């Protein structure tokens, strides 16, 4: 039985423990998608906090694939030099770093997109983002596939240890997978074998570019949790197929923005039973694939995290919000302070990331201000 602090391997990438920082957009990139010094420092802090594998916030593979302001880009060779500094700093701090790559499709709030085509598998209106994408032509699908492959090449050149495809949370790959957003009548629509074609082409393109020895991961939904969305059965098909195609690990998540409280970052995780909210489906998928499974979603306590790993329900556990509040959570647990993560899952950090300051824990900052006031008074 593996423990949380036991090392592991993903396609030759040696990790010192089973804790992953799930991709977290920080709203800290420079204009044009370049990596900033502030983002480097935030990421380095996670490595110092002994996170086994740090996954960057999602980086867009094409300019019209950007979702959010001050998001990292990997759409151009000009991104590589600054990212090399980032990966060197993480390696110096004895960390491992993976870049998550994305095309947002219709899920964008970017003003710049007004003069750029918003792409999607079909022209289905996205109520949350208030966008109706243009149904992609087969030529545009090829262009997107090529952009993912080129982006992965840049990830490797920039010195990252791995690349993760963002196939979850309703972004372009997930829009193709979901019957709610994919109404196509050609070979990219219809049964899951067709809806997954875009993802499989992206994976093949990426693999061809980075070679067999480079770790390629995917973040995939267990289920979309909306009527007519991607089902558990679809997720199982995709996971099994990617396993046979040679992907190296699957990070299992779930939900889309339209799912509200059943979205990827659920609120109100108060007791152990509320934690690890994708565990039951993840367990079923884990049983049917041979590659490592990483589980994300609401993991907050040491016991829940280590029981998941010990029971073999997943090979690794992944967290996002707990590390915004406590970048040194894993080090704290390893040193013996096993109190649960201080994050109360209020989701106020999303608003902070939207501000020009970039992501921070709003609750922690308020608590600090109160403490200071009390000390003064
Ligand atoms: C501020 C913020 C930014 C996020 N950015 C990303 C992202 O870039 N890519 C992604 O796959 N998920 C992103 N997520 C979702 C998390 O990776 C994770 O799946 C979700 O928050 C559930 O995990 P948690 O309960 O440990 O926070 C983000 C979450 C937060 C709070
Ligand atoms: S604002 Fe702080 S406490 Fe609230 S979810 Fe974000 S990290 Fe957790």
Average confidence (pLDDT) over 218-239: 98
* Residue 117: DSSP 8-state: P
- The pLDDT of residue 116 is 81
pLDDT (tens digit per residue) in 49-59: 999 999 999 99
Checking if the pLDDT of 76 tops 80, the result is yes
Task: Give the separation between CA 301 and CA 274, rounded to whole angstroms.
Answer: 11
Checking if the pLDDT of 327 tops 90, the result is yes
Kindly report the protein residue whose alpha carbon is nearest to atom 9 of ligand 1: 23
Average confidence (pLDDT) over 320-346: 98
Q: How far is the CA of 123 from the centre of ligand 2 (A)?
A: 35
pLDDT (tens digit per residue) in 84-105: 999 999 999 999 999 999 999 9
Q: 129: how many CB neighbours lie within 10 A of its CB?
A: 21
CB 124 within 8 A of CB 132: yes
Name the pTM for this structure.
0.97
Kindly report the protein residue whose alpha carbon is nearest to atom 6 of ligand 2: 349
The tokens of 177 are what? 């997978």
Question: Percent of the chain, pLDDT > 70?
Answer: 99
- The pLDDT of residue 2 is 72
- The pLDDT of residue 373 is 86
Residues 6+ apart with CB under 8 A from 50: 16, 17, 19, 328, 330, 331, 334
Checking if the pLDDT of 112 tops 90, the result is no
CB 165 within 8 A of CB 173: yes
Lowest model confidence (mean pLDDT) among 7-16, 113-122, 246-255, 349-358: 113-122
For residue 342 and ligand 2, the question of a CB distance below 6 A is answered with: no
Confidence of residue 337 (pLDDT cuts 50, 70, 90): very high
pLDDT (tens digit per residue) in 273-321: 999 999 999 999 999 999 999 999 999 999 999 999 999 999 999 999 9
pLDDT (tens digit per residue) in 341-363: 999 999 999 999 999 999 999 99
**Higher pLDDT, residue 199 or 117:** 199
Checking if the pLDDT of 113 tops 80, the result is no
Mutation pick for ligand 2 pocket among 343, 347, 360 (CB with most ligand atoms within 8 Å): 343
DSSP string, 219-274: EEES---STTS--HHHHHHHHHHHHHHT--EEEEE---GGGGGGSSS-S---SGGG
How big is the chain, counted in residues? Answer: 377
Checking if the pLDDT of 16 tops 80, the result is yes
Task: Give the separation between CA 371 and CA 320, rounded to whole angstroms.
Answer: 26
Confidence of residue 36 (pLDDT cuts 50, 70, 90): very high
Confidence of residue 371 (pLDDT cuts 50, 70, 90): confident
For residue 171 and ligand 1, the question of a CB distance below 6 A is answered with: no
For residue 321 and ligand 2, the question of a CB distance below 6 A is answered with: yes
Smallest CA-to-CA distance from 61 within 136, 150, 139 is with 150
Q: By CB neighbour count within 10 A (0-12 exposed, 13-18 middle, 19+ buried), where does 231 fall?
A: middle
Kindly report the protein residue whose alpha carbon is nearest to atom 2 of ligand 2: 361
Average confidence (pLDDT) over 264-275: 96
pLDDT (tens digit per residue) in 160-173: 999 999 999 999 99
Mutation pick for ligand 2 pocket among 265, 342, 344 (CB with most ligand atoms within 8 Å): 344
Residues 6+ apart with CB under 8 A from 64: 113, 116, 117, 118, 119
Checking if the pLDDT of 376 tops 90, the result is no
Task: Give the separation between CA 138 and CA 315, rounded to whole angstroms.
Answer: 37
- The pLDDT of residue 41 is 98
CB 106 within 8 A of CB 132: yes
- For the chain, give the mean pLDDT: 96
User: Alpha carbon of 98 to those of 22, 116, 326: distances in Å?
Assistant: 10, 29, 20
């Amino acid at each position: 039985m593996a423990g949380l602090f036991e090392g592991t391997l993903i396609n030759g990438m040696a990790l010192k423990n089973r804790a992953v920082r799930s991709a977290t957009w920080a709203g800290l990139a420079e204009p044009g998608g370049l990596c900033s010094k502030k983002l480097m420092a935030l990421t380095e802090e996670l490595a110092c906090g002994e996170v086994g594998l740090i996954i960057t916030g999602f980086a867009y593979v094409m300019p019209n694939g950007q979702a959010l302001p001050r998001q990292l880009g990997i759409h151009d060779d000009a991104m590589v030099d600054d990212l090399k500094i980032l990966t060197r700093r993480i390696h110096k701090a004895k960390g491992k770093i993976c870049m998550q790559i994305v095309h947002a499709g219709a899920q964008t709030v970017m003003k710049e997109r007004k003069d750029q085509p918003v792409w999607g598998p079909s022209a289905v209106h996205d109520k949350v983002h208030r966008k109706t994408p243009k149904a992609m032509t087969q030529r545009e699908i090829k262009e997107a596939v090529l952009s993912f492959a080129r982006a992965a090449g840049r990830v490797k050149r920039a010195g990252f240890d791995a690349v993760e495809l963002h196939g979850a949370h309703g972004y372009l790959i997930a829009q193709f997978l979901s019957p709610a957003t994919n109404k196509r009548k050609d070979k990219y629509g219809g049964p899951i074998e067709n809806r997954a074609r875009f993802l499989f082409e992206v994976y093949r393109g990426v693999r061809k570019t980075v070679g067999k020895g480079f770790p390629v991961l995917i973040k995939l939904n267990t289920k979309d949790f909306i009527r007519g969305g991607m089902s558990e059965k679809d997720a199982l098909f995709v996971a099994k197929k990617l396993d046979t195609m040679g992907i190296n690990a699957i990070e299992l998540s779930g939900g889309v923005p339209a799912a509200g409280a059943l979205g990827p970052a659920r609120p109100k995780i108060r007791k152990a039973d509320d934690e690890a909210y994708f565990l039951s489906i993840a367990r079923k998928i884990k049983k049917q694939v041979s590659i490592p499974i990483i589980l994300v979603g609401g993991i907050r306590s040491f016991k829940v995290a280590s029981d998941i790993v010990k029971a073999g329900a997943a090979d690794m556990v992944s967290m996002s919000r707990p590390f915004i509040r406590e970048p040194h959570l894993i080090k704290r647990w390893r040193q013996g302070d096993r109190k649960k993560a201080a994050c109360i899952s209020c989701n106020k950090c999303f608003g902070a990331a939207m501000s020009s300051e970039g992501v921070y824990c709003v609750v922690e900052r308020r608590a600090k201000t109160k403490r200071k006031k009390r000390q003064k008074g």
